[in-house]
Structure 1
């Protein structure tokens, strides 16, 4: 029995053509070899399992080959591999530099491959600098690392850097399909795509997962077997969850989530996968973005079919909700409740959207439909007596009834004849979420309707209600924005003393009215009169300036009236240096008092008082 060789070793590329997903780098190295334009120090950097060491071995083999050499020769004696993770001392680097001086016995170059070069110590890097900058003509250094940022800049500046990228899902799936055909394994495209997605851009990981799944399922590789072996959530789970969301089936959605938890998956995995599923559905809405969907052909059909049941607005809201849950999951103390609440919100997106839309259309002549429980009509109201009206058989069949509305109540109170314009409504009963609802559509109808006797109590409006506050604000704006003819306004001259007197009077008025903060701000500086009837004050900070500017209307109206000049203006500047004149802390207040009366210091010392 032949020993088993893992696919990562068995199918390691032997030429640059066999390297997967790094065509730009392999073409560059091939052209450099053909044109004899190869640097003596190369740095291969990138994620794990993308082909850095493989490309280094292929390069070391090809630079020693020529037309007269056997193509099967691997030049093992010309290639020296050093693991910097375990050989990272200065002595290891010194031994390496001593070997570099010896020319190769076979071939043209000696190639030194240093893997995980970022693990070298600072002293080892410094010992390696001179040799790396001026190596012998027969020596080429290839450094490989996954963490380029840990390499000192002096090493980076001496190397030609090649950045390896992650293997795409498409490239990895195609290479896995080639290996499956080579091993006579029947594999579904969706199964190979799941393996490629699980590998996360690393070809070595994809081959390891492939070997593991083949050992589990044998010669037939199915999507179900892959998901079971890798313990990943299948597409079907998210398709079923989305169908339940679109049907507003909250109980079924919670049951599906509970079954997912029972299979060993956590809520974070479920909600993050659901967000990705909504993203894939969004991608399917436009034909130009379908290429961004990294799934098999069979899965693409399912995504395309389900995307037709959704809209871009629904998917945007769903992605936003799922993403918020993903962000807040780790910080939540009740993580399961967080996910369940998000699922309930997802199942209510369309209903909320229709409700908001109907409210925004409520300004038309014919009011839109709205939904109220059927039990609403069975509840008696103590403050309103409604006279019963008979409904004939034709009305019962068509569903048209007359329902008293709030509009009729208001008109009943304000008309002397106790009559209101008729409002007819059409009702339809339906069931949703276990409750019975009635859709009521209001329509204006000139036909007379039965009189309704109402007994209502006097309605009182609170002074803090939104309507009263809004009316007060509009009144103040209208008062301030009145258009005034400036041609007949007074423009009398006045002195600075007169202005300061009326200024002080206004401050006293504010103080007596309890507006202490504004009075203190206005009293913080003595106003000065400048050109063109401009009053100038200087404040210690911007907060006081904003407070005065917000309340300056009453001040200016008072001064214009007292000084008989409508063209007075107020100029406010900020000078933080003036803040030193004011005492804010207890220490500053004590220093001010001591300046006025030095005896207070003696009092403090005599009684040993604290500040």
Structure 2
């Protein structure tokens, strides 16, 4: 066999060239790990406290660093090790909050090769034998550093016996030993350990600081990233610098030399929010058949039913934030924000809370059901029909008047239209008309009539209203059509900016406050509250009142 022929399994493979530091790619989260306290973002209070302690020689023997993932716990522990062992460029320096980074201890610690700085992962070294090795080793002086430092990451993973074995050494360690613990679950660390450590709670990094940090990283990498994309990444990072850098790393690979906000949303799985918006609109309009069709379509595309319901909850939460006047989620597109503002104007607080609770219950049903798709379908159908039920105040009024509440499913045909001569069907006042409109299944129109308008005048065939909140351009036409469907006669609906009473919802609140004040003024109630000053009036039984 000549030299050119392939081997038969005994030949040695060609030598593979190993990547060196220049060619081997390092992810951004490792490449831009802070090397000084000045580079540690969002933890100014902790840095100041440590700086003062080092400057005054009040250095604790054990530190506990807590916080969510990616805020810099392990990085801070390494920085503390450098600060305590730095000897300066001339070799004569002492502990400092600004380690030089060029002396041998600083470089060795940064590269993870210092013999006196021992890092241990408690997740994989949980037993008492691992702790015994530490206990035996602390008796010996450091080899070359000022302090022998033990960094134990995820310390809450140590077993109970391991913690107990460490207690005595942790309370009275030799002067040359320092312990640095890091954990994401400080509640799992025994109190006996907490009491022996100086604790620092690392905070979530504010999104504006993260966005600024990511912008600096992008410039250093020579990548053009839109400002809105940086904000979206910072929001998705949830206060974690490491998570944000991982997302930025992925976004750079996802794009083609430029990272846009749309690319980030698409990468994070936000591109299919249009499907969720359409489903939410279908639910609110009470279209049973269309809801089932959209669920079946999502199922055929492989979309998890639980994810779909969580998406509905996220959309509803965004609507609630818009109604409360809070800032919009930066992961939302302009179209989503506009849609949220529109729904916020249409839905009352009561509707939002009820929808949220129904979706929350549906999510739990999906989690425990044998068939998640079936559970999701039943949950959303329950939401549609529950939305058609009268609220408690309407139900109480119906029962007090001896009328049985009637629910007309959205998929059922409309009730027969009364003839114009059937004047008995004409509501006697505006609240009665609102009740009749809602009984026809027009819940969103009912919400607007109760919450968003004040009555100026009401007469058979004519309604004059004052808008208290923005209304759709088709509001007057929709109300006229609904009133005609209910009564069988034509109605003229006019809007004006003058006069007008408070909305029906405001009137209910004022009536409730008057009733509450009257109850509190009742002599027996006042005597009871005087006897029990901590007691409060929680609810009022209207019948008893």
TM-score range, shorter chain: 0.5 to 0.7
Match of 1:340 in 2: 377
**Among candidates 20, 31, 52, match of residue 31 of structure 1:** 52
Instruction: Please identify the structure whose Cα radius of gyration is greater.
Output: 1
Once the two structures are superposed, what CA deviation does each residue of 1:411-455 show, in whole Å capped at 9, x if it has no partner?
A: xxxxxxxxxxxxx9989xx999xx9x9321699xxxxxxxxxxxx
Report deviation, 1:9.
Answer: 0.5
Match of 2:176 in 1: 138
Matches within 5 A, 1:113-124: 113-124=151-162
Q: Is 1:48 aligned to 2:69, yes or no?
A: yes
Q: Is 1:262 aligned to 2:293, yes or no?
A: no
SS for the counterpart of 2:25 is: coil
Q: Is 1:400 aligned to 2:411, yes or no?
A: no
Is 1:80–1:112's contact at 8 Å kept on the other side of the alignment? yes
Match of 1:283 in 2: 321
**Residue correspondences, number:** 396
Alpha-carbon distance in structure 1 between the residues aligned to 2:339 and 2:416: 43
Does the C-alpha gap of structure 1 residues 315 and 81 become closer, same or farther in structure 2, counting only changes over 3 Å?
A: same
Normalising by the residue count of structure 1, what TM-score does the alignment of the two structures yield? Answer: 0.53
SS for the counterpart of 2:23 is: coil
Alpha-carbon distance in structure 2 between the residues aligned to 1:270 and 1:280: 15
SS for the counterpart of 2:487 is: strand
Tell me, which stretches of 5 or more residues in structure 1 are unaligned?
A: 365-369, 379-398, 406-423, 444-611
Match of 1:204 in 2: 242
SS for the counterpart of 1:4 is: coil
Match of 2:36 in 1: 15
Does the C-alpha gap of structure 1 residues 355 and 117 become closer, same or farther in structure 2, counting only changes over 3 Å?
A: closer
Report deviation, 1:336.
Answer: 2.8
Match of 2:487 in 1: 440
Does the C-alpha gap of structure 1 residues 126 and 350 become closer, same or farther in structure 2, counting only changes over 3 Å?
A: closer
Q: Is 1:308 aligned to 2:345, yes or no?
A: yes
Q: Is 1:330 aligned to 2:360, yes or no?
A: no
Does the C-alpha gap of structure 1 residues 96 and 431 become closer, same or farther in structure 2, counting only changes over 3 Å?
A: closer
Alpha-carbon distance in structure 1 between the residues aligned to 2:233 and 2:118: 34
Does the C-alpha gap of structure 1 residues 233 and 154 become closer, same or farther in structure 2, counting only changes over 3 Å?
A: same
Give 4+ residue runs of structure 1 displaced > 6 Å after superposition.
361-364, 370-375, 424-427
Is 1:401–1:426's contact at 8 Å kept on the other side of the alignment? no
Report deviation, 1:271.
Answer: 1.0
Match of 1:59 in 2: 80
Task: Compare 28-37 and 145-154 and name the one that shifted more.
Answer: 145-154
Does the C-alpha gap of structure 1 residues 352 and 7 become closer, same or farther in structure 2, counting only changes over 3 Å?
A: same
Q: Is 1:321 aligned to 2:342, yes or no?
A: no
Does the C-alpha gap of structure 1 residues 95 and 403 become closer, same or farther in structure 2, counting only changes over 3 Å?
A: closer
**Among candidates 248, 253, 259, match of residue 221 of structure 1:** 259
Is 2:265–2:331's contact at 8 Å kept on the other side of the alignment? no
Does the C-alpha gap of structure 1 residues 296 and 37 become closer, same or farther in structure 2, counting only changes over 3 Å?
A: farther
Match of 1:553 in 2: none
Normalising by the residue count of structure 2, what TM-score does the alignment of the two structures yield? Answer: 0.59
Once the two structures are superposed, what CA deviation does each residue of 1:146-194 show, in whole Å capped at 9, x if it has no partner?
A: 3444444433332222233445656545543443343233445665566
Alpha-carbon distance in structure 2 between the residues aligned to 1:297 and 1:375: 41
Does the C-alpha gap of structure 1 residues 290 and 86 become closer, same or farther in structure 2, counting only changes over 3 Å?
A: closer
Does the C-alpha gap of structure 1 residues 404 and 197 become closer, same or farther in structure 2, counting only changes over 3 Å?
A: closer
Report deviation, 1:142.
Answer: 0.7
SS for the counterpart of 2:196 is: coil
Match of 1:176 in 2: 214
Is 2:420–2:489's contact at 8 Å kept on the other side of the alignment? no
SS for the counterpart of 2:71 is: coil
Report deviation, 1:375.
Answer: 7.5
Alpha-carbon distance in structure 2 between the residues aligned to 1:223 and 1:265: 24
Report deviation, 1:37.
Answer: 2.3
